[in-house]
Amino acid sequence: MVSEKKRAVLLLSGGLDSTTVLALAKAEGYSISALSFRYGQNHEHEAAQAQMIASHYGVSDHTIVDIDLAVFGQSALTADMEVPKSNSVEEICNRIPVTYVPARNTIFLSYALALAEVRKAQEIFIGVNALDYSGYPDCRPEYISAFQALADLATKTGVEGSAMEIRAPLLHLSKAEIIARGLELGVDYSMTTSCYDPDAQNRACGRCDACLLRLKGFEENGIKDPIDYQCAE
């Protein structure tokens, strides 16, 4: 257990992974500065979910930043493009999908670096995962290592010899393992959102990459996903 005074910045999207990371960081005794984004995504319920989750975990220092990555286009999450759907995890395309938002994690982590310097945080938590994921290049171990090198070089804190550590505790876990760890920590996954293409009632589609991987993770834990889906399974 670390000192309660030890502070960390945590990227909080309102999704399953970042919520699990928040539970892990709180269990380790960190004082959390949460950072979320309205980045021009088609479904802005994510920010509301993040606010609810931050409140649930008693995180009073929660910053929501407005940026507009939609001006660049090229992603089904920010532009008028069809979100790919499949019937099973096995059908998920092994190429980088159109749901990839160009440089999103690099942009988010850059903001997190700035906030960490201001808050004097020793660590930055991010919920990226390199096993059960959609193949995004900025979710790989090599990417996290490269950004750590950047953080050491590009900040006043790093130059003075006390750089922030980029923590990605879910990096090498399967979705089932992530969910199992969260359940051990008492995470209420009904609060989280994962779907790339929810309907107007924020019900998950059940067929995008994120939904399929999430459903597989809950199935492997022998429990039902507590969120609402557009079609009953």
The per-residue pLDDT string of the chain (233 residues; one tens digit each, 9 = 90 and over) reads 444 569 999 999 999 999 999 999 999 999 999 999 999 998 878 899 999 999 999 999 999 999 999 999 889 999 999 998 998 888 787 788 899 999 999 999 999 999 999 999 999 999 999 886 678 999 999 999 999 999 999 998 888 877 789 999 999 999 999 999 999 999 999 999 999 999 989 999 999 999 999 999 999 999 999 999 997 54
CATH class of 7-82+100-194: alpha beta
Give the pLDDT confidence score for residue 158 in this predicted structure: 86
Give the HSE-up count for residue 18: Cα atoms under 13 Å, Cβ half-sphere: 27
Q: Which pTM does this prediction carry?
A: 0.93
CA–CA dist 151, 122 (Å, integer): 12
Three-state secondary structure call for residue 106: helix
How is the chain split into domains, by residue range?
A: 7-82+100-194
Beta bridge partners of residue 31, listed in sequence order: 7
Give the pLDDT confidence score for residue 233 in this predicted structure: 47
Give the pLDDT confidence score for residue 189 in this predicted structure: 98
Give the pLDDT confidence score for residue 191 in this predicted structure: 96
Single out the residue of 230, 225, 231 nearest to residue 191, CA to CA.
Answer: 225
